[in-house]
Amino acid sequence: MNSIDALRLEPAQRAQGGVTLPGSKSISNRVLLLAALAEGQTRLEGLLASDDTRVMLAALRTLGVAVDDSDPESIAVTGASRWPVMDADLFLGNAGTAFRPLTAALALMGGSYRLSGVDRMHERPIGDLVEALRGLGCEIHYEGRDGYPPLRIGAGNSEAARTVRVRGSVSSQFLTALLMAAPVLAARWGREVVIELDGPLISKPYILITLNLMARFGVEVAREDWHRFVIPADARYRSPGRYAVEGDASSASYFMALGAIAGGPIEVRGAGVRSIQGDIAFADVLEGMGARIERADHAMTVTGPVVARGERLQAFDLDFNLMPDAAMTAAVLALYADGPCRLRNIGSWRVKETDRIEAMHAELARLGARVESGADSLRVHPMAEDQWRVAEIGTYDDHRMAMCFSLASFGPVPVTILDPGCVSKTYPAYFEDFRRLIRS
């Protein structure tokens, strides 16, 4: 294989230094949509440059939204509550943060649209969102299997239903999509929009990101516990002028983990205690495993043991429902623990870029680990030095598989990451930054 197909990482001993995070994927695609729906021009600074944001920007341009990227430091988006192009065919790759919110926004615009993606996107469920939108009178058809993309959206005739109900047990992105599109309905109806949850909600911190960003764009949502959300009748998005995207807290988890197993200190810049992202709480997980954390407003510095010298992290048994992406990092750290580690409440992994429970089980086992998995859980046993096997790690076209398994390079044998370029989905320069921190 050539260097594009695979990346061999030799056994590492220590890591030290600092890294500045790329912009948050979750925030970047949300603010792009909000800016496109807001009155006025919004200049977005620190926007993530990755596959997911590129497909969102391409979609917005196709829909007639004015996007100016002539300034290398920022992107200017001039929004409107109704976009000029009312008939379009949009390809959205494997970007759930683009596909789900655009489905809701376009279904309420009254045009005719087709939304598709890569094969894996067509395996990721969207039925709960479609059913909620159909309940409002939106016309949405499945082109393939019921409940999954690709979708064809018709003009429809949205009704002034008293309440829209949606399930949030599969993906929080369905509720996020409805919340962000709700001001379009409020303007049409001239009254408040009420969204009620049908059953439990997973990944609540991502909804808090959505509500925080909506408020920055002038729409305050009244939240009644986690069951009912009320968008006021006069809700209209208004540009804040400028918005600076903070660093990606999910990506921070790999470098914080690096500090925890490789001595450090590793300073991770761009997200800290003022972050609006739930994954920043991964620092608490590392602290519980024995790492030392120094917290600042927009940075975290992590120092830990040196596992290459035989030192161990403390084992854990934790519910990761509130930080499912960072949980993947914890699963690899379990290899260096002083006992078996259990990750609970991670059922949402099964409908991500790949079935992450199945994928993590397979690749950890490939390294030589003993692993047990269930419908929504994973149990990983630590490895002694003589248990490690030289392995090629499959990444399943999943950026987070590639990034979290880079941490396996602190075992005693080489590890090869297959298709390392899949990190371009959220962090194109990940492996350059990772290797820059390694010390001999």
Q: For residue range 375-423, what is the model confidence (pLDDT) as tens digits? A: 999 999 999 999 999 999 999 999 999 999 999 999 999 999 999 999 9
- pLDDT at res. 72: 87
Tell me the average pLDDT of the chain. Answer: 95
Amino acid at 11: P
The answer on pLDDT for 131 being more than 90 is yes
CATH fold group of domain 6-22+246-439:
UDP-n-acetylglucosamine1-carboxyvinyl-transferase; Chain (3.65.10)
With CA atoms as reference, report the closest residue to 30 among 298, 245, 323: 245
Mean local confidence (pLDDT), 152-177: 86
The answer on pLDDT for 158 being more than 80 is no
Which one-letter DSSP state was computed for residue 292? E
Cβ-Cβ contacts under 8 Å for 2 (sequence gap 6 or more): none
User: Could you state, in order of their start, the residue ranges of all structural domains in the chain?
Assistant: 6-22+246-439, 25-233
The answer on pLDDT for 157 being more than 60 is yes
- Lookup result for tokens 């341009």: 61
Q: For residue range 201-240, what is the model confidence (pLDDT) as tens digits? A: 999 999 999 999 999 999 999 999 999 999 999 999 999 9
Same fold yes or no, 6-22+246-439 and 25-233 = yes
Is residue 163 very low, low, confident or very high in pLDDT (cuts 50, 70, 90)?
confident
Residue 9's SS3 state is strand
- pLDDT at res. 155: 79
Max CA pair span of the chain: 68
Which one-letter DSSP state was computed for residue 25? H
Residue that wins the pLDDT comparison between 335 and 155: 335
Q: Is the dihedral of CA 70, 76, 80, 82 positive or negative?
A: positive
Dihedral pair phi/psi, residue 114, rounded to 5°: -120, 130
- Cβ neighbours around 433 below 10 Å, total: 18
Dihedral pair phi/psi, residue 193, rounded to 5°: -115, 130
Q: For residue range 136-153, what is the model confidence (pLDDT) as tens digits? A: 889 999 999 999 999 999
- Pair of tokens at residue 406: 């880079």
Do residues 316 and 289 touch, judged by C-beta distance below 8 A? yes
Q: How far apart are CA 391 and CA 78, in angstroms?
A: 49
Is residue 1 very low, low, confident or very high in pLDDT (cuts 50, 70, 90)?
very low
The pLDDT > 70 percentage for the chain reads 98
Q: How far apart are CA 133 and CA 125, in angstroms?
A: 15
Quick check: is 386 catalytic? Answer: no
25-233 architecture in CATH? Alpha-beta prism (3.65)
Give the containing element (helix H, strand E) for 269. Answer: strand 263-269
The answer on pLDDT for 2 being more than 70 is no
Go through 178-196 and write b for each residue having 16 or more CB atoms within 10 A of its CB, e for each that does not. Answer: bbbbbbbbbbbeeeebbbe
Amino acid at 42: T
The pLDDT > 90 percentage for the chain reads 93
Residue that wins the pLDDT comparison between 2 and 316: 316
Mean local confidence (pLDDT), 244-264: 98
Do residues 96 and 354 touch, judged by C-beta distance below 8 A? no
Between helices 127-134 and 96-107, what is the axis angle to 10°?
A: 10
Is residue 160 very low, low, confident or very high in pLDDT (cuts 50, 70, 90)?
low
Among candidate residues 51, 52, 128, 325, the one labeled active-site is 325
Mean local confidence (pLDDT), 189-195: 92
- Cβ neighbours around 428 below 10 Å, total: 16
- pLDDT at res. 259: 98
**pTM of the shown model:** 0.93
Is residue 159 very low, low, confident or very high in pLDDT (cuts 50, 70, 90)?
low
Residue 237's SS3 state is coil
